[in-house]
Amino acid sequence: MSDLPAELPAELSAEDRKLVTLARATRARTGAAEGAAVRDADGRTYAGATVALPSLHLSAVGVCVAMAVASGSKGLEAAVLLTGEPTVPDTDMAALRDLGGAGVVVHRGDVKGTLAETVTT
């Protein structure tokens, strides 16, 4: 991973840029397949990476949502998923919707942090 930040769209908010940075750093630090970060309704952020143990498999988004729930979060504003996959998996979208409801902004990008699409729950 390069130490230089990925090119991000100019219209991306400072808060969403922070999510990209957190997701990139977490994925790189762990060497995981995916990195993710979410911002809850109170502005707190949670970052996670894919967990691939023999007895436990969690997506990076699943880790973030679980951390938010365990911390008492009551909703989500935004999420970033950095992955090699062409779309945000349905299971991740469902988890984001379960906690955040409709309208959570979800940015998907490659593992280097270059964003490819933005969708909402």
Assigned token pair, 73: 């979060």
- Taking the whole predicted model, whether its pTM rises above 0.85 is answered as yes
Q: Per residue in 63-104, pLDDT tens?
A: 999 999 999 999 999 999 999 999 999 999 999 999 999 999
Mean pLDDT of 2-19: 72
Terminal CA-CA length for the chain: 30
pLDDT given at position 15:
96
* pLDDT tops 60 at residue 5: no
Which residues, other chains included, contact 21 with Cβ-Cβ below 8 Å and sequence gap of 6+? 5, 113
Instruction: List beta partners, residue 52.
Output: 57
Which residues, other chains included, contact 42 with Cβ-Cβ below 8 Å and sequence gap of 6+? 73, 74
Q: Per residue in 27-61, pLDDT tens?
A: 999 999 999 999 999 999 999 999 999 999 999 99
